[in-house]
Structure 1
Amino acid sequence: MPRLLIVHHTPSPALQAMFEAVVAGASTPEIEGVEVVRRAALSTTAVDVLEADGYLLGTPANLGYMSGALKHFFDTVYYPCLDSTRGRPYGLYVHGNNDVAGAVRSVETATTGLGWAKVAPHVTVTGDVGKVQEEACWELGATVAAQLST
């Protein structure tokens, strides 16, 4: 069964709402045959990444960059997974109070280096997370999971 790994750093209520919507979309009953695994960025290992067939990444925008937790994730898994995970699909959601461009750019740099394939538009939110943003996160989760559906 294909495995979708959701790697997240969820320190705020806004990111919690986005995370829950992504999980709900990835786990929707309409998408069959995909195991959804959730891991906090600080506890995700290279084995978790190697055992997955696709990825959803969630981070706050901190000082114009991805969170330190997600950066630690990439530092931990980059070289052990570099050759084995090329071409795998991924999606990204980011929350910031006023700007998310630097965080998106930093994640794109890492995923480009890994050779992962962006399969859906990034969901970026500044400020409050409402119904529209939660629906976009749900769609992101469902879209990436559907890429793996058997």
Structure 2
Amino acid sequence: MTARTLLIVAHCPSENLRRLRDALITGATRSEADLRCLFSAPLDSGADEAFSADAIVLLTPENLGYMAGAMKDWFDRIYYPLLDSKQGLPCVAIIRAGHDGTGTRRAIETITTGLRWRFIQEPITLQGEWQPSWTEEMEELGEAIAVALAEGII
């Protein structure tokens, strides 16, 4: 079986978002799973990277009650090229919300529903003041996704 590919698309304009991204990558790559882990900023990623993915993790801040403009731009560029070819793609969404994250979650769920992607768990909203425990949670999440993907569970 060939190595499966996990794509992490993360918009990280702040140090704390970079910490979350790095923790996801650390977790995904520390597993001994036969896995290729790619990560990219939304403005640097496109349909080719998403097309090669066997699962995807989306990380975005909440901006004015919505996902980051860079993440929306990424969705706009990949939507039609992937619409028919990547149905059922396992995905996870992580929202770093200063408020409640509901608008961001609703927008991501609407777009991924249109793409017919499937959430392998409920979207995660990291709400309020920064919590150092979030980095450990993201490492565990990254590792769990990597193992599940490599073992064919997702």
Q: Considering the TM-score relative to the shorter chain, is it more than 0.5?
A: yes
Check conservation: 2:56, 2:92, Cα contact below 8 A: yes
Return closer, same or farther for 1:27/1:121 CA change in 2, 3 Å cut-off: farther
* Superposed structure 1 runs of 4+ greater than 6 Å apart: none
Q: Which residue of 2 aligns with 1:105?
A: 106
2:4 to 2, 5, 11: 2
2:25 to 23, 26, 39: 23
Q: TM-score, length-normalised on structure 1?
A: 0.92
Check conservation: 1:123, 1:140, Cα contact below 8 A: no
Q: TM-score, length-normalised on structure 2?
A: 0.90
Give the number of equivalent residue pairs. Answer: 149
- 1:51: Cα distance to partner? 0.9
- 1:96: Cα distance to partner? 1.8
Query: Pairwise CA RMSD of aligned residues?
Result: 1.4
- 1:140: Cα distance to partner? 2.3
Quick one: percent identity of the two aligned structures?
Answer: 38
Q: Which residue of 1 aligns with 2:13?
A: 11
Is the partner of 1:92 in helix, strand or coil?
strand
Q: Identify unmatched segments of 5+ residues in structure 2.
A: none
Query: What is the distance in 2 between the residues matched to 1:3 and 1:108?
Result: 22
Check conservation: 2:31, 2:147, Cα contact below 8 A: no
Check conservation: 2:31, 2:143, Cα contact below 8 A: no
Is the partner of 2:30 in helix, strand or coil?
coil
Check conservation: 1:8, 1:40, Cα contact below 8 A: yes
Q: Identify unmatched segments of 5+ residues in structure 1.
A: none
- 1:122: Cα distance to partner? 2.5
The 5 A counterparts of 1:15-94 are 15-30=17-32, 32-94=33-95
